[in-house]
Amino acid sequence: MTSRMLLTFAAAAILGAGSAGAQDIAAGQDLYDGSCKNCHGPTAKGMASFPKLADKSAEHLTMRLEQYRAGEMVGPNSALMQPMAADLSDADIMNIAAYITDRFGPKPAKTEDATDAAADAGGTNGGHDGMTAKDGQGNMTEGKSGAANGHDDAATKAHSGDEPAAAEADVASHSDHADMPQDAVHDAASSPAMADANVDAGKEIYQGNCKNCHGPTAKGMASFPKLSDKSAEHLTMRLEQYRAGEMVGPNSALMHPIAGDLSDADIADIAAYITETFQ
Report, in angstroms and rounded to the nearest whole number, the Rg of the chain calculated over CA atoms: 23
User: Helix, strand or coil for residue 44?
Assistant: coil
> What is the C-alpha to C-alpha distance for residues 250 and 76, in angstroms, rounded to an integer?
15
Task: Check the annotation: does 210 bind a ligand.
Answer: yes
* 73 is an annotated ligand-binding site residue: no
Q: Is 214 annotated as a binding residue?
A: yes
> 45, 152 in Cβ contact below 8 A?
yes
Residue 262 in contact with residue 243, Cβ under 8 Å?
yes
> Is 177 known as a binding-site position?
no
* Crossing angle of the two packed helices 90-104 and 58-69, in degrees rounded to 10: 150
Half-sphere exposure of 96 (CA within 13 A, CB side): 26
Torsion sign across C-alpha atoms 265, 266, 271, 277 = positive
Handedness of CA 224, 230, 231, 234 (dihedral sign): negative
Residues 6+ apart with CB under 8 A from 144: 129, 130, 153
**Residues of each annotated binding site for heme c:** 36, 39-40, 81, 210, 213-214, 255
**Residues of each annotated binding site:** 36, 39-40, 81, 210, 213-214, 255
